[in-house]
Amino acid sequence: MQMLLLFIWGSPHTIYRSMHSFRRFIRGSLLLIISFALAGCSSKAPYEGKSVAQLRRMLHHADPKIQVQGAFGLSQLGPKSKEATPELIEALKSGDALVRQNAALALGKIGPDADEAVPALIETLHDPEWAVRRQAAMALGEIGPTAQPALRELEKLKHDPHRRVAEAAREAAKKISPRGGSS
């Protein structure tokens, strides 16, 4: 084998230099690939690092995709987003299902401090999109006992054709009332 390598590459010193260069090439290529991968992973989502005020402004944007990002960003801030409750209530009326769904998510993450949203969330339980109905039910559950007026509608929703909506309605009713509403 050594004779074959000597014949092809030349002296042992040349073989060593070639192997060393090849290792450096592989190591450099791997570092380059990893750095490109990490650079792609480091880009922030549009809602990251934004204040409540900035996220509230996103809810007023003409593009529903930006509205979704604003509502989702507010959901990530939880109770700190309480001051955005009026805009989130308004977003529940959007023509875009993802905006409505994320607005309900944010209201649920605000929790009991979003109790002024209960009437709008009760209306949202009738949304044509099952994912929006489910998120509205979950939000009412997170708001808790002050969402008592929703129990009648949640009771009806326990029979929703979409299993996840029915499950969310049952769980929400339990959180709102220890009896879980009327059975």
End-to-end Cα distance, the chain: 83
E-assigned strands of the chain? Answer: none
Task: With beta carbons less than 8 A apart as the criterion, state whether 137 and 125 touch.
Answer: yes
Domain 52-176 CATH superfamily: Leucine-rich Repeat Variant (1.25.10.10)
* Alpha-carbon separation of residue 121 from 37, 39, 100, 132 (angstroms): 42, 40, 10, 10
* pLDDT tens digit sequence for 16-63: 555 556 666 676 666 667 665 665 555 787 778 889 999 999 999 999
Task: With beta carbons less than 8 A apart as the criterion, state whether 52 and 83 touch.
Answer: yes
Q: With 90 as the cut, is the pLDDT of residue 158 above it?
A: yes
Q: Domain ranges in the chain?
A: 14-43, 52-176
Please tell me the least confidently modeled range out of 7-11, 127-131, 132-136.
7-11
